[in-house]
Amino acid sequence: MRWTFIFISLLIVSCTTKPEPLVAGKDACVHCKMPIADTRFGAEIISNKGRIYKFDDINCMLQWSRQSSNVDAGSAKLYVVNYFDQIDLMNAADAVYLKSDNLRTPMNSGFAAFATKRRSRKTIER
């Protein structure tokens, strides 16, 4: 009985899909099909089946998730790239967002995600 519990626990943990860092020049946006050139503005959706969808712009993720029947929006996990740490993908619900015409984003949305308000203010002050 104990071994069965351990085996099932390991199986559940090993099946959990985690966000993958975006790779500029290798990954492409699922929505607009453009190669990802600047990872600072990217995002990912992980479906409840574990499939990862990558986006070059936060706005692409939003548009695709509204249009697509591939992902159950209620149970999918949404992640955004931390502008100052492009390897760090954060839960989209925990991020602080900045929209600015001064941000040159891939699809001209002007959206960027930050871990804290303080970090987003530093971007505005530049």
At residue 17, the pLDDT reads: 81
List alpha helices for 23-109, DSSP H. Answer: 58-67
3-state secondary structure at position 122: helix
pLDDT at 41 over 90: yes
Do the Cβ atoms of 76 and 68 come closer than 8 Å? no
What mean pLDDT comes out for the span 68-90?
81
What mean pLDDT comes out for the span 4-11?
48
Centroid of chain to Cα 93: 11
99: alpha, beta or left? (left if phi > 0; alpha if psi -120 to 50): beta
